[in-house]
C-alpha cells in the first residue's frame, strides 16, 4: 500500500520531523534537489536544456529556488520566475532565494513570454494547502503554462488542484509529471485532480510518514489477497454465492451480478429471482443454479421459501434490479436481521434503505455496501455535490455511522470501513462508465467474500480487479463500445494479467 496524505497530515509530519531535529531549511534543500533530479528526468538530458521555474510565495516556491540553483550548477539554462516581489518571501524560502541569487540565478517577474524557448517548466506556484480558485497573476501563470508546449513538472501537486479533495475550481496546471514530497497527496489520486497530475513520483526527503488515513492499493497487495485454488478444490470450496436480485421487467442487473460472481471464480452461484428473470438466465447463464419465486416482485417470504440455499451460502449479494416498493424494503430489512453470512448490498437494496438505514446500522455482521454518489447522499442525508466534494471524508463517515464496509463508486473509488484507514483504487477508466458495471462489481465482491476474504479485503480487491477488467474489455473492444457484460467476461484475463505482470517484474 502506498500512503496518501491530506494537507493536515503532511503539515503534521513535516512539523514532527523538524521537532525531531531536522531544520526546515534542510528539508527544503532536500526537496529542491529532488525536484531538480526529477526535472532532468522529464527533460531527458542535461546540457542544452532550457527550464523555467515558476515560484509562488509558499514552501513550493522555496523548493523551486533550490531546484533552480542546483540545475544552474549542472549546466541547465534556467530561469526563475516570481509571482511575488522578492521582499514578500520569508522564512526558509527567503534563505534559499538568497542562496539561488548568490549562485548566479537572477529571478525575474513572471511574464508569459518568459516561457518562450523552454523545454521544461517547473510548477512551484501553490502547495497542497491550496483551496478555492487561482486568481490574478497566479491564474495567468497557470494559463500560460498550460498553453505552452514545454513539458511540465509539478512540485507536490499541480497548482490549482485542492490537496484534500482533488477539486479544480478554476485554472489548474496540467502536468506531465508530479513529484510528491514525502508521500503522494489526496488531490493527485482523486478526480479531477488526478487528471492534472500526470506520472506520479515520490521523493523521500527524510520525513517519516505514519498513520496515514488513506492508502493507494497496489498490484502486489491485491495478488497477496486473491485466492489460489489447490488441487483438491471443488465447487463448494471455491465459494457459494447467492444472488438475490431482479424483478419482472428488470433482469439485466441480476444477470450481470451473477456473471460477475462466476467470472471472478465463485464455484457455485445461485440466482434467486422472479420467473421473468429465471427465463432470461436459463438462456444466458446456464452454469448458475436458479430459483424462481412465485411473485413478480421478491419479498421477505423468499428467505423461508429458499432457506436451504441460504443455509449453504457463504455470501449473499442483494439488490440489483430488485425494485423499490414496500415488499422489497421488507425483504432487505429481513435479510439484514436474519442472514448471518456476509451480505453485499447495492442498487435497490440501498435505495429502499435511503430514508431509514437503521436496520443496516444495527446488523452487526459483515456487510459491504457499494453506493454511487447519489445513493451515498441518500443514506447520509447529504446533497450529492457534498459527497463529491469530500469523497474520502464522506466514505469514512459512512463506514463509521453505518457500521459496514463502504465502496463509494466513481473515479477513484474509495473503500472505507467503520475504523482504520480507507483505500483508494487506482484502476479503471471511462470504459466502466456504462450501465451495469456496478452490478458486475457487486458479483465480484461477493465472489471474493465467498472465498473467505474478510469484507474489507474483498471490497478493495474486487474494485481493483474490476478496474483491470474494464481496461481489458476496452483493449479487446478497441476502446469503444464496451458494455458491462464485456467487463464480466474480461475478469479472468484481468486476474491472469495481474499475476503475469508481477511474476515478470
Q: Are 215 and 423 in contact (CB under 8 A)?
A: yes
With bands split at pLDDT 50, 70 and 90, how would you rate the model's confidence at 231? Answer: low
Per DSSP, what are the bridge partners of residue 109? 82
Claim to verify: residue 353 and residue 430 sit in the same structural domain: yes
Claim to verify: residue 274 and residue 248 sit in the same structural domain: yes
In this predicted model, what pLDDT tens digit does every residue of 164-215 receive, in sequence order?
999 999 999 999 999 999 999 999 999 999 999 999 999 999 999 888 999 9
With bands split at pLDDT 50, 70 and 90, how would you rate the model's confidence at 234? Answer: low
Higher pLDDT, 379 or 48: 379
* Residue 195: Cβ within 10 Å count: 15
Q: Are 84 and 56 in contact (CB under 8 A)?
A: yes
Tell me, yes or no, whether 385 lies in a domain.
yes
Looking at every residue in the chain, the average pLDDT score rounds to 94
Q: What is the reported pTM?
A: 0.92
CATH code of the domain covering residue 6: 3.40.50.10260
Element (H, E) at 465: helix 455-477
Can you tell me which residue has the cell 421488507? 330
* Residue 400: Cβ within 10 Å count: 14
Claim to verify: residue 41 and residue 98 sit in the same structural domain: yes
Distance in angstroms (rounded) separating the CA atoms of residues 344 and 446: 6
Higher pLDDT, 458 or 384: 458
Residues in Cβ contact with 248 at an 8 Å cutoff, skipping those fewer than 6 apart: 274, 275, 276, 277, 296, 297
Q: Which of 215, 247, 266 represents a domain boundary (last residue)?
A: 215
Claim to verify: residue 188 and residue 322 sit in the same structural domain: no
Mean pLDDT of 267-289: 91
> What pLDDT was estimated at residue 505?
55
**Per the structure, how many domains does the chain have?**
2
- Is residue 504 over pLDDT 80? no
Claim to verify: residue 329 and residue 470 sit in the same structural domain: yes
Claim to verify: residue 285 and residue 431 sit in the same structural domain: yes
> What pLDDT was estimated at residue 237?
62
> What pLDDT was estimated at residue 232?
64
Task: Output the CA torsion 259→265→269→275 (10° steps).
Answer: 10
Claim to verify: residue 207 and residue 63 sit in the same structural domain: yes
Element (H, E) at 396: helix 391-402
Tell me, yes or no, whether 332 lies in a domain.
yes
Mean pLDDT of 250-262: 96
> What pLDDT was estimated at residue 279?
87
> What pLDDT was estimated at residue 305?
96
Tell me, yes or no, whether 427 lies in a domain.
yes
> What pLDDT was estimated at residue 480?
85
Tell me, yes or no, whether 223 lies in a domain.
no
Chain centroid to CA 478: 24
* CA-closest candidate to residue 160, choices 150, 149, 147, 174: 174
Share of the chain above pLDDT 90, in %: 87
Claim to verify: residue 180 and residue 249 sit in the same structural domain: no
Claim to verify: residue 249 and residue 208 sit in the same structural domain: no
Structural domain boundaries enclosing 22: 2-215
> What pLDDT was estimated at residue 144?
97
Higher pLDDT, 41 or 478: 41
- Is residue 59 over pLDDT 60? yes
Claim to verify: residue 399 and residue 292 sit in the same structural domain: yes
Which cell is 373 given? 454518489
Distance in angstroms (rounded) separating the CA atoms of residues 328 and 202: 49
- Is residue 151 over pLDDT 60? yes
Claim to verify: residue 328 and residue 386 sit in the same structural domain: yes
Q: Are 166 and 191 in contact (CB under 8 A)?
A: yes
Tell me, yes or no, whether 220 lies in a domain.
no
Which cell is 336 given? 439484514
Tell me, yes or no, whether 456 lies in a domain.
yes
Q: Which of 215, 248, 267 represents a domain boundary (last residue)?
A: 215
Claim to verify: residue 248 and residue 195 sit in the same structural domain: no
Which cell is 23 given? 531544520
Whether the upstream peptide bond of residue 192 has omega within 30° of 0, thus cis, is yes
Which cell is 182 given? 514525502
Tell me, yes or no, whether 99 lies in a domain.
yes
In this predicted model, what pLDDT tens digit does every residue of 72-123 receive, in sequence order?
999 899 999 999 999 999 999 999 999 999 999 999 999 989 999 999 999 9
> What pLDDT was estimated at residue 332?
97
Tell me, yes or no, whether 76 lies in a domain.
yes
Per DSSP, what are the bridge partners of residue 215? 3, 423
In this predicted model, what pLDDT tens digit does every residue of 283-330 receive, in sequence order?
899 999 999 998 888 999 999 999 999 999 999 999 999 999 999 999
Amino acid at each position: 500500500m502506498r500512503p496518501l496524505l491530506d494537507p493536515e497530515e503532511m503539515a503534521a509530519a513535516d512539523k514532527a520531523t523538524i521537532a525531531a531535529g531536522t531544520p526546515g531549511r534542510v528539508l527544503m534543500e532536500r526537496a529542491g534537489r529532488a525536484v531538480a533530479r526529477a526535472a532532468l528526468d522529464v527533460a531527458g538530458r542535461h546540457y542544452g536544456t532550457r527550464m523555467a521555474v515558476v515560484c509562488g510565495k509558499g514552501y513550493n516556491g522555496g523548493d523551486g529556488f533550490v531546484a533552480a540553483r542546483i540545475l544552474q550548477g549542472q549546466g541547465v539554462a534556467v530561469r526563475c520566475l516570481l509571482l511575488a516581489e522578492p521582499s514578500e518571501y520569508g522564512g526558509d524560502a527567503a534563505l534559499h532565494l538568497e542562496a539561488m541569487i548568490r549562485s548566479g540565478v537572477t529571478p525575474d517577474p513572471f511574464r508569459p513570454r518568459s516561457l518562450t524557448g523552454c523545454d521544461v517548466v517547473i510548477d512551484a506556484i501553490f502547495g497542497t494547502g491550496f483551496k478555492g480558485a487561482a486568481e490574478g497573476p497566479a491564474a495567468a501563470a497557470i494559463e500560460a503554462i498550460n498553453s505552452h508546449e514545454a513539458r511540465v513538472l509539478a512540485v507536490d501537486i499541480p497548482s490549482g488542484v485542492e490537496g484534500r479533495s482533488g477539486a479544480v475550481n478554476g485554472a489548474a496546471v496540467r502536468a506531465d509529471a508530479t513529484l510528491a514530497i514525502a508521500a503522494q497527496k489526496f488531490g493527485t489520486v482523486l478526480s479531477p485532480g488526478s487528471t492534472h497530475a500526470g506520472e506520479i513520483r515520490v521523493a523521500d526527503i527524510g520525513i517519516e510518514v505514519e498513520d496515514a488515513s488513506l492508502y493507494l492499493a497496489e498490484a502486489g497487495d491485491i495478488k497477496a489477497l486473491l485466492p489460489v485454488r489447490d488441487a483438491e478444490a471443488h465447487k463448494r470450496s471455491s465459494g457459494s454465492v447467492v444472488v438475490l436480485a431482479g424483478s419482472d421487467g428488470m433482469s439485466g442487473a441480476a444477470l450481470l451480478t451473477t456473471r460477475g460472481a462466476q467470472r471472478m471464480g465463485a464455484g457455485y452461484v445461485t440466482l434467486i429471482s422472479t420467473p421473468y428473470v429465471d427465463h432470461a438466465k436459463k438462456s444466458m447463464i446456464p452454469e448458475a443454479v436458479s430459483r424462481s419465486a412465485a411473485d413478480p416482485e421478491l419479498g421477505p417470504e423468499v428467505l423461508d421459501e429458499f432457506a436451504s440455499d441460504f443455509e449453504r451460502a457463504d455470501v449473499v449479494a442483494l439488490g440489483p434490479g430488485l425494485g423499490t416498493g414496500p415488499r422489497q424494503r421488507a425483504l432487505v430489512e429481513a435479510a439484514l436481521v436474519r442472514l448471518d453470512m456476509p451480505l453485499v448490498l447495492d442498487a435497490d437494496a440501498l435505495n429502499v434503505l435511503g430514508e431509514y438505514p437503521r436496520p443496516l446500522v444495527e446488523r452487526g455482521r459483515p456487510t459491504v455496501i457499494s453506493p454511487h454518489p447519489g445513493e451515498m447522499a441518500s443514506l447520509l442525508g447529504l446533497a450529492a455535490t457534498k459527497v463529491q466534494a469530500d469523497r474520502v471524508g464522506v466514505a469514512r463517515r459512512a463506514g463509521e455511522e453505518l457500521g459496514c464496509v463502504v465502496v463509494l463508486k466513481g473515479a477513484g473509488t474509495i473503500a472505507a470501513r467503520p475504523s482504520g484507514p480507507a483505500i483508494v483504487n487506482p484502476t479503471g477508466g471511462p470504459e466502466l462508465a456504462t450501465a451495469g458495471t456496478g452490478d458486475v462489481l457487486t458479483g465480484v465482491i461477493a465472489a471474493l467474500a465467498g472465498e473467505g476474504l474478510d469484507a474489507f479485503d474483498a471490497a478493495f480487491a474486487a474494485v481493483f480487479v474490476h478496474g483491470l477488467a474494464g481496461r481489458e474489455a476496452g483493449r479487446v473492444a478497441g476502446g469503444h463500445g464496451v458494455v458491462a457484460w464485456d467487463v464480466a467476461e474480461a475478469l479472468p484475463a484481468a486476474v491472469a494479467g495481474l499475476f503475469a505482470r508481477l511474476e515478470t517484474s
